[in-house]
Chain A
Amino acid sequence: MDFSHNEQRRMLEETATRFLRDNYPLRVRHEHAAATAGFSRDMWSRFAELGLVGALFHEQHGGYGGTGFDIAVLFEALGRSLVVEPFFASLLGGSLLAELCRPEQRALIAEIINGSRLVSVAHTEPQSRYDLADVATSATRDPHGGWRLQGNKAVVPNGDTAESLIVSARMHGTQSEPQGIGLFLVDARAAGLERCGYATVDGGRAAEITLNDVVLDESASLGRAGEAFAALENAVGLATLALCAEALGAMQAATDMTLEYLRTRKQFGVTIGSFQVLQHRYVELLIEIEQVRSQLINAASSIDSGAPDCQWQLSAAKHLTGRVARLVAEETVQLHGGIAMTWEYGLAHFAKRLVMIDHWLGDTDHHLERCVMLARDTGLSATSAIR
Chain B
Amino acid sequence: MDLRYSPEEQAFREDIRRFLEDRLDSRLREKVRNGQRLNKSDYENWHALLNTRGWLAVTWPREYGGTGWNAVQRHIFEEECCAAGAPRIVPFGLNMLGPVLMKFGSQAQRDYYLPRILDGSDWWCQGYSEPGAGSDLASLRTRAVRKGDVYVVDGQKTWTTLGHYANRIFCLVRTSTDGKPQEGISFLLIDMQSPGIEVKPIVLLDGEHEVNEVFFDAVQVPVENLVGEENRGWTYAKYLLTHERTGIAGVGFSTTALDDLRRIARVQLKSGLPLAKDPYFAARMAKVEIDLEAMKTTNLRIIAAAATGSAPGVESSMLKIKGTVIRQEINDLTRRALGPYALPFVSEALEAGHNQEAIGPDYANPVANQYFNNRKLSIFGGSNEIQKNIIAKSLGL
Contacts and interface: CB of A to CB of B under 8 A. Distances in A.
A24 interface: no
A23 to B, nearest CB: 25
Given A359-B340, A359-B342, A127 B372 contact: no
A267 interface: yes
B338 to A, nearest CB: 8
Nearest to B347: A199
Kindly state the interface size class of chain A when it binds its partner.
Answer: 35 or more
Interface of A: 124, 126-127, 129-131, 134, 154-155, 175-176, 196, 198-202, 206, 208, 266-269, 272, 277-278, 326, 330, 333-334, 337-338, 340-344, 348-349, 351-352, 355-356, 358-360, 363, 365, 368-369
Given A129-B269, A337-B134, A340-B205, 13 more contacts: A127-B269, A196-B359, A198-B345, A199-B345, A201-B343, A201-B345, A201-B368, A268-B135, A277-B385, A334-B384, A338-B376, A341-B204, A344-B203
B344 interface: yes
B371 A348 contact: no
A154 B378 CA distance: 34
Nearest to A156: B340
Given A127-B269, A334-B378, A360 B203 contact: no
Contacts of A368: 280
Interface string B363-397: 00000110110011011100111001000000000
B136 A342 contact: no
B52 to A, nearest CB: 36
Closest 7 CB pairs of A and B: A348-B205, A267-B136, A343-B203, A129-B339, A155-B340, A200-B343, A201-B368
B271 A176 contact: yes
| Residue among B202, B335, B359, B371 with max Cβ neighbours from chain A (10 Å) | B359
A363 B335 CA distance: 11
A200 B345 contact: yes
A198 B205 contact: no
Given A154-B340, A200-B345, A338-B134, A126 B379 contact: no
A330 B328 CA distance: 10
B206 to A, nearest CB: 8
B281 interface: yes
Contacts of A206: 343-344
B196 interface: no
Nearest to B281: A365
Nearest to B389: A277
Contacts of A277: 385, 388
Contact of B375 (A155, A341, A349, A359): A341
B270 A129 contact: yes
Contacts of A267: 134-136, 139
A359 B81 CA distance: 33
Contacts of A356: 342-343, 368
B334 interface: no
Contacts of B281: 365
Contacts of B272: 127, 175-176
B271 A343 contact: no
